[in-house]
Amino acid sequence: MLVLTAADVQELVPMRTAIDLMKQVFAELSAGRTESPLRIPLEVSEHEGVTLFMPAHVPSAEGLGVKIVSVFPRNPQQGKPTIHAVVLLTSTETGEPLALLDGTFITALRTGAVSGAATDLLARPDSHVLTVIGAGVQGLTQAWAVATVRPIERVNVFDVNADAAASFADRLRAYDPALADKVVPVDDVHRAVAESDVICTATTARQPVFADADVRLGTHINAIGAFTPEMQEIPPETVARSYLVVDAVDAAMAEAGDLLKAIDAGLISRDAVRVELGHVVDGSAERRTSPEQVTFFKSVGNAVQDVIVARYAVTAAERSGRGQTITL
């Protein structure tokens, strides 16, 4: 069985490739050509954590596997990442284990990449100011991905932990040195949002992280942090006035607190949650319709993302000889 580290995956899967893989796999998902049951969450309440079990099958990529990912918000207090994960790939022919990959970087890469795909499809072409709210690992790849598809000249970074915002540029340098020079830590999130063309939220918040009045016309928003009904990053009023696109309707309606809270407030109907990213990719749903339109992409994550990135990484590793082979 092949073992690939985070460094292996970063070398094998460039961000642009990951963005293209996200467009491919979400088009497949929306067409009904993948299988990804709703993930199984196990709450670890004594530590305020959750571990998610996420299987998927992507036949077109010969991808079959499962990701196990843990989200423990207290970890930074111990000097550890909030998110830890592994991805196990198995053979689509025999079911035997093929590869074990670091899933922490894959999670960050594919989550950034799907926002990159959404930004490419929905944001104004002239977007040049990005604000990232949440300066963890997920925030880093959000910035990296958005800058891959738009001419970003400034990256505002806000975090309730000022030290995390201050160190963002140094940490981003490992992915995109030129972009790191454009990072500006900010302490006024409302002002940062008000001057933004693209906003990415990557937090564990349970209430909106900015005000609806802060969001100017023409803004594109990627919200990837709120993945349970209790969590929330985006004001319901912003959700209500946006062109709404989700990664997968069923998962969003089960897990996306940003949407469920807007529905509960009576600001949108359940029928408003109908356009998937894959529909925009294949042309069955529209992209941005005017420079003034506010567009909102809500992602709760789907295991097809992990499986297609892992499958690509394994194929690339087999060609290049990268990784370590072990016998179980």
Most distant CA pair in the chain, distance:
57
Residues 6+ apart with CB under 8 A from 80: 72
Q: Which two structure tokens, joined as six digits, stand for 200? A: 């990415």
How far is the C-alpha of 272 from the C-alpha of 280, rounded, in Å?
Answer: 15
Distance CA 154, CA 60 (A): 38
Domains of the chain: 2-106+304-325 (3.30.1780.10), 113-301 (3.40.50.720)
The yes-or-no answer on residue 67 being catalytic is yes
One-letter amino acid identity for 85?
A
Q: Mind listing the pLDDT tens digit for each residue in 2-45?
A: 999 999 999 999 999 999 999 999 999 999 999 999 889 999 98
So what's the pLDDT on residue 39?
A: 85
For residue 116, give the nearest of 191, 186, 14, 32 by alpha carbon: 14
Q: Which of 7, 12, 81, 69 is closest to 41 using CA atoms? A: 69
Q: What phi and psi, each to the nearest 5 degrees, are found at residue 123?
A: -75, 155
- Active-site residue among 67, 182, 261, 298? 67
Mean pLDDT per block of 10 residues along the chain (328 residues) reads 97 98 98 92 92 96 96 89 93 96 95 98 98 95 98 97 95 96 97 98 95 98 92 97 96 93 95 96 97 97 96 97 93
pLDDT of 38 reads: 84
Structure tokens at 168: 């963002």
Amino acid at position 143, single letter: A
CA distance 232 to 263: 13
CA torsion through residues 19, 293, 223, 65, sign: negative
Quick one: the chain helix, strand, coil %, rounded to 5? 40, 25, 35
Rounded to whole angstroms, what are the CA distances from 141 to 96, 134, 266?
A: 32, 11, 34
Q: What is the pTM of this model?
A: 0.93
Q: Which two tokens stand for residue 277?
A: 């990213």
Do the Cβ atoms of 159 and 134 come closer than 8 Å?
Answer: yes
